[in-house]
Amino acid sequence: MPLEWSSSSPDLLLAVDRDGGEPLRCQLERQIRDAIRSGRLRIGERLPSSRALARDLGLSRGLVQECYAQLQAEGYLVARAGSATRVSAGACVASAPAPPPDRRPRLLADFRWGVPDLGGFPRADWSWAMREAVRVLPRSALDYGDPRGSAVLREVLAGYVRRVRAASADPESIVICSGYAQGLNVALRALARTGVRTVAYEDPGSPETVTSAAARAGLSAIPVPVDEHGIDVAALAATDARAVVVTPAHQWPTGVVLALIEWAARRDAVVIEDDYDAEFRYDREPVGALQGLAADRVIAIGTVSKSLAPALRIGWILCPPALARQIAEDKSLDDRGSPALDQHALARLIESGRFDRHLRRMRGVYAARRAALVEALAEHAPSVRVTGLAAGFHAVAHLDGSLGEHAVIAAARERSVGLYGMSPCRSRHEGTPVQLILGFGDVGERAITAGVTAVADLLR
């Protein structure tokens, strides 16, 4: 007879060989003993009940009880009335490798950029939305479903981006994805199938994200300079690119947006709009999405990574009608669709008004932190020019260059302050001009003031 395998809760896999010469009880004792010695079963772990293990292995319950009793006598197991049988604290268990020590220093302030206030995640609202989603979820929604994502969420998102971002959104042309990176990868693969061979991107911007996605799609990626007005459309026109990745909501005035749309129409090109931190603007009226001005030429990618938390891994792609089907098919090949329960929860959060309420609260939080950063720099490093404060939750500090980027960052670390340079955002990773990206999304106001005070002489 073949070996009989059984998996019993909690994750205990045993093999019983009825044709071997070893008695069944001895086999069972030996295997459990070896599982404890080797570390497969750790101290305190629960074993299956004698009834369950006997049923799963096709043995008598009395045999399993005798096995457990013998191992208890040997000090491997412990059992109390009314409680499960567990691995004894006195058992000879192989020690697990100690986790590596956390060598990250405790920072006075960490100005890491691109991170929202993780402590501000609306846990109670999200828990409510998950319960509501599960309560009303139809049976059919538990299947794989439409690779574009939940029809409920796509309908809700279409209304949301039309209302808040002035986008031109049709639920049939929205594809749910697991964040910006996947959205970009899927979009570039779809464009490659239409004959696009080169994609341009902002410099400085996110070179590694774009170049790696382009390489996977078989495309070339070329940087195009960005100044205080946005991407240099003339420099873009001098390339052979038929696609460009941009972040207009964070930096652009209307004139550059219109020039980019004209370029796309002349070149028969597509703009990929990263709708990065568009929900958070402070010193001027919110701007609409570029996609709303040219829906047939723009692929807009939005996420909840900044508005809620990166851990949710929920994003969306607003597709031009001509590309919607191809993008949906590529998304289906990636993963057959994003998690449905989370999609329905997000839909309930938006529909209920709790999402808008959360955004209003966070705008106040980020505005206060922005003000704290501006005030601290004005007091302790008044010669430093600061830009990029119109939106989002980071600013750019322009230094005079007397100290190099890496020297400033290293010296700040010695003072328990995390600073981050612009060089990783440049296509060639140059350290000049010396600029720091000061993220204030996940830093409290007191920490901002203390951090700037500690490194003020490095910034001046």
pLDDT of the residue at 39: 87
Count of Cβ atoms closer than 10 Å to residue 404 Cβ: 15
pLDDT of the residue at 342: 97
Say how far apart CA 183 and CA 41 lie, in whole Å: 42
Could you tell me which residues come within 8 angstroms of residue 388 by beta carbon, excluding any fewer than 6 positions away? Answer: 250, 251, 394, 395, 396
Q: CA dihedral in degrees (148, 153, 157, 160; nearest 10)?
A: 170
- Mean pLDDT along residues 27-47: 90
pLDDT of the residue at 230: 84
What is the per-residue pLDDT across 1-14, written as a single tens digit (0 to 9) for each?
434 444 445 658 88
Which position has the token pair 């966070």?
362
Domain ranges of the chain: 4-87, 109-114+363-459, 121-352
CATH, range 109-114+363-459 = 3.90.1150.10
Evaluate whether 96 touches 42 at the Cβ level (below 8 Å). Answer: yes
Q: Hey, what are 402's tokens? A: 């007397």
What is the per-residue pLDDT across 113-123, written as a single tens digit (0 to 9) for each?
999 999 999 99
The DSSP string of 349-367 is: HHHTTHHHHHHHHHHHHHH
Say how far apart CA 25 and CA 116 lie, in whole Å: 57
Evaluate whether 249 touches 226 at the Cβ level (below 8 Å). Answer: no
What is the per-residue pLDDT across 232-277, written as a single tens digit (0 to 9) for each?
999 999 999 999 999 886 655 556 788 899 999 999 999 999 987 7
165 φ, ψ (degrees, to nearest 5): -115, 5
Which CATH entry fits the domain spanning 4-87: 3.40.630.40, 1.10.10.10, 3.50.50.60, 3.40.50.2000? 1.10.10.10
Most confident by average pLDDT, 2-16, 174-188, 385-399: 174-188
Fold for the domain defined by 121-352: Aspartate Aminotransferase; domain 2 (3.40.640)
**Is the pLDDT assigned to residue 389 strictly greater than 90?**
no
Say how far apart CA 406 and CA 415 lie, in whole Å: 14
What is the per-residue pLDDT across 298-330, written as a single tens digit (0 to 9) for each?
999 999 999 999 999 999 999 999 999 999 999
